[in-house]
Structure 1
Amino acid sequence: MECTVNHARAHSHEMRLLTGGVDLFAAMVVAMDAAQHEVLLETYIFAFAGAGADVAHALMRAAQRGVRVCVVVDGVGTGELPAVWADQFAQVGVQVRVYAPAVGLGFWLPSRWRRLHRKLCVVDTTVVFCGGINILDDYLDPHVQGLLTAPRLDYAVSVRGPLVVAARATMAQLWSRIEAVRELRSQDLGSALDALRGAKQRLHLPARGETQLVLRDNVRHRAHIERTYRKAIGASRQDIIVASAYFFPGLRLRRALLMAARRGVRVRLLLQGQYEYFLPYRAARQLYGQLMAAGVEIYEYHASYLHAKVAVIDGKWLTVGSSNLDPFSLLLAREANVVAHDAQMAQALQASLVSAIEQGAVRVDPHAYLHRGWRERAVDALASALLRFGVFLTGKRY
């Protein structure tokens, strides 16, 4: 499904809502095939099977035309590229960097849990793609190297307008920092200083308005995404729908949802039912009782994996991005969300989420939850305690 919105005002944005890799990868390939100067791509996972290969080939075609192509993948989500693809990229000039490579036992240090989780792509400062979708085929299950019976549920947006410059700036800044580290390791101090000068340029994001790029990092934007959520939830009057693959919000964000429900706002949460990881799924269930007691409706998505990180409020405000509502995203990872005040886009996203709830999800019954067995209660409590202990190890307050 695609929804296109055109704004006639000066400094306006043209936005498209993209559902799944089917929509996103097709739009990215078209943009890359039209690129004349530059393609920048950041992703947590780059899997080359299926539709992921379509994106890889589009990157190579652009590089072969002389377009500057820079790709950053996460050291845990992707790691080193498969040798055959790394060779092909190198031959045509696609530059690839690995963010914080996972080397040895160092990965288990809490300081190494800060990952590149955002999914951004900028083409020629003309268009930016932002969302929760990795370069991963909708039907590919990377955990068992098999195929899903139904596509993964996830969203992205493409945006044209001033936001593209901000996205390009933050991506260029990260690239410069990675290059500086590479040069320092090779003891090329001159090149390292040049790269650091580029990385130190202050990042100017668009002023508050109808469409914003909201970042989370460990320097200047530590809590921007969470604050944006809390502010929008606090201003809600009628309806909130949040879809989050990993859901374990901190006290303040949880309180904002509870207060909204108690003042009569209809609050619906779409969470994983067919889960990818046991621990975060069971930890999230530990929170269900408090939320449902306040009137929050909780739906677990069983049609396939839920990977979305989106929200719609009052049919006017929406966010689409990479940030889950859990400690990993809100405290540690680099994340990027697009936030917009746009009724047409918000209602298109809301319609898609309502369809997913009605056709692919099951509502959690409060009575059945309260009367679940002691073993289930113990597992939920243990999972929650382990997740909180992990946060404690990072030295963060949540």
Structure 2
Amino acid sequence: MVVTPARRAASATGHHIQLLQGAQEFFPALIADMDAALSDIQFETYIFDFTGAGADVARALMRAAQRGVRVHLAVDGVGTGPLPEPWRSRLKQAGVQVQVYSPLGPLGLLLPMRWRRLHRKLCVIDGCVLFCGGINVLDDFHDPNHGVLAAPRFDFAVRAVGSLVQQASEAMEQLWWRMRAVRDVRRRRLSLALADLRAASAARLAARRADSSSRGMRAALVLRDNVRNRTRIERAYLRAIAHARHEIIIANAYFVPGRKLRRALVLAARRGVRVQLLLQGRYEYFMQYHAARPVYGQLLAAGVEIHEYAPSFLHAKVAVIDAQSRRAWATVGSSNLDPLSLLLAREANVVVHDRAFAQDLRRRLRHAMAHEGRQLDPQSYARRSLRQRVLDRLAFGLARAALWLTGNRY
């Protein structure tokens, strides 16, 4: 019998986590497993863009649905919005079931409640293979706002096999039925909504059982939501940073850490840990670019190294700590270290305790810092122009005001 990718995953023992860099590594692995799917595909993403390689992923979903695989696709109402024609019709005709998370109403993002987005990027195939990371369905050389990119976007995902896959599947199933219940209530189909809520309740119970059975794993799925798991990802970072002994490397696209994270990084640097940050070096959005810079001064003064990625947009949300030791810790996921991710959005990270995996991620990050980044000089930062300082403070102040509107402290 020919062993397909999905069947290989089902027969694996323990956890196997494969690091994938960029859509050029991620999409082929994802499509291969989709083409081998036998029963169902659960897929969540913030952005689903059909340009270039993104269309290849859409076609893989359609092929699966056409051969009888149950395909659930959830996209975010801001990141993706209503699917464009003719793709919406093609997906529907193929049998792909699509739901939009929190569609924007007439007031759009003027309502703070609409700032809670589906930002996680998850795919579970046949209940035995998980893809998780920061990579949207978006061609590496295309940006919806900036057009063609000269170099690929810098980002990571993982392909995971093991008991954490069930936890991801149950969480995705629960969200799917909650979204259906909300839709049915809006259409006054109350009996269907009650049935959907009962299904979500059953999924939640199964997720708790899966979580309790995963203790002692060398890998774990860490989810963030606005109910029971508000601070899990931030606490995972804080614990790992507090236990660091030699080295911390963080690559993060939108880096506006709160007081606790800033303090943890400063304390680590002061006790002799080498702390290196690989951050966004190109202007993408006003708020994310300028709001990050007011926190640089405190970190640079403590001896933290800041490297800005230059060739293309940095979209990674990864970290590796003490990769050379037995206590190696690494994470790959969707969560930025900023208020939107840590206080408002649904996020998903995989945490891996494995030296070989951590060393692979460390090697890639150090190569990017050495060959594709530029280290920020503390003196140059202190001498930045008055205009730059004003824009930085304006963005930082607007971010704090927005948080106040949501009732959150950061």
Q: TM-score, normalised by structure 2?
A: 0.93
**1:71 pairs with 2:79:** no
**1:160 pairs with 2:168:** no
Pairwise CA RMSD: 1.4
Structure 1 unaligned spans of 5+: 1-5
Determine the structure 2 residue equivalent to 1:382.
394
CA distance in 1, matches of 2:362, 2:408: 33
- Candidates 217, 223, 241, aligned match of 1:209: 217
Determine the structure 1 residue equivalent to 2:229.
221
Residue 197 of structure 1: how far off its partner (Å): 1.2
Structure 2 unaligned spans of 5+: 1-7
**1:318 pairs with 2:319:** no
Residue 91 of structure 1: how far off its partner (Å): 0.7
- Candidates 350, 353, 376, aligned match of 2:365: 353
Determine the structure 1 residue equivalent to 2:127.
125
Aligned residue pairs total 390
Determine the structure 2 residue equivalent to 1:109.
111
For 1:92-124, what per-residue CA distance to the aligned partner results, in whole angstroms no more than 9, with x for missing partners? Answer: 100000000012114211111000000000000
Residue 397 of structure 1: how far off its partner (Å): 0.9
Letter in 2 for 1:175: W
CA distance in 2, matches of 1:372, 1:275: 16
CA distance in 2, matches of 1:313, 1:76: 33
**1:37 pairs with 2:39:** yes
For 1:110-169, what per-residue CA distance to the aligned partner results, in whole angstroms no more than 9, with x for missing partners? Answer: 11100000000000012000000000000001103x210000000000001111101100
Determine the structure 2 residue equivalent to 1:93.
95
Residue 372 of structure 1: how far off its partner (Å): 2.0
**1:330 pairs with 2:330:** no
Determine the structure 2 residue equivalent to 1:3.
none
CA distance in 1, matches of 2:186, 2:222: 32
CA distance in 2, matches of 1:361, 1:331: 29
Determine the structure 1 residue equivalent to 2:294.
286
Q: Secondary structure at the match of 2:26?
A: helix
CA distance in 2, matches of 1:388, 1:107: 17
- Candidates 235, 249, 255, aligned match of 1:241: 249
Q: TM-score, normalised by structure 1?
A: 0.96
Letter in 2 for 1:139: F
CA distance in 2, matches of 1:210, 1:194: 37
CA distance in 2, matches of 1:311, 1:240: 7
Residue 330 of structure 1: how far off its partner (Å): 0.1
Residue 184 of structure 1: how far off its partner (Å): 1.1
Determine the structure 1 residue equivalent to 2:149.
148
CA distance in 2, matches of 1:11, 1:263: 39
Determine the structure 1 residue equivalent to 2:56.
54
CA distance in 2, matches of 1:94, 1:329: 28
Residue 374 of structure 1: how far off its partner (Å): 2.3
Residue 208 of structure 1: how far off its partner (Å): 4.8
**1:256 pairs with 2:276:** no
CA distance in 2, matches of 1:378, 1:92: 52
Letter in 2 for 1:396: N
Q: Secondary structure at the match of 2:37?
A: coil
8 Å Cα contact 1:11-1:162 kept in structure 2: no
Letter in 1 for 2:229: H
Determine the structure 1 residue equivalent to 2:282.
274
Letter in 2 for 1:294: A
CA distance in 2, matches of 1:359, 1:82: 39
Residue 359 of structure 1: how far off its partner (Å): 1.1
8 Å Cα contact 1:280-1:387 kept in structure 2: no
Determine the structure 2 residue equivalent to 1:18.
20
8 Å Cα contact 1:127-1:160 kept in structure 2: yes
**1:395 pairs with 2:403:** no
Residue 187 of structure 1: how far off its partner (Å): 1.7
Determine the structure 1 residue equivalent to 2:4.
none
CA distance in 2, matches of 1:127, 1:377: 47
For 1:299-358, what per-residue CA distance to the aligned partner results, in whole angstroms no more than 9, with x for missing partners? Answer: 111110000000000001100000000000000000000001010000000000001111
Letter in 2 for 1:230: L
CA distance in 1, matches of 2:16, 2:192: 38
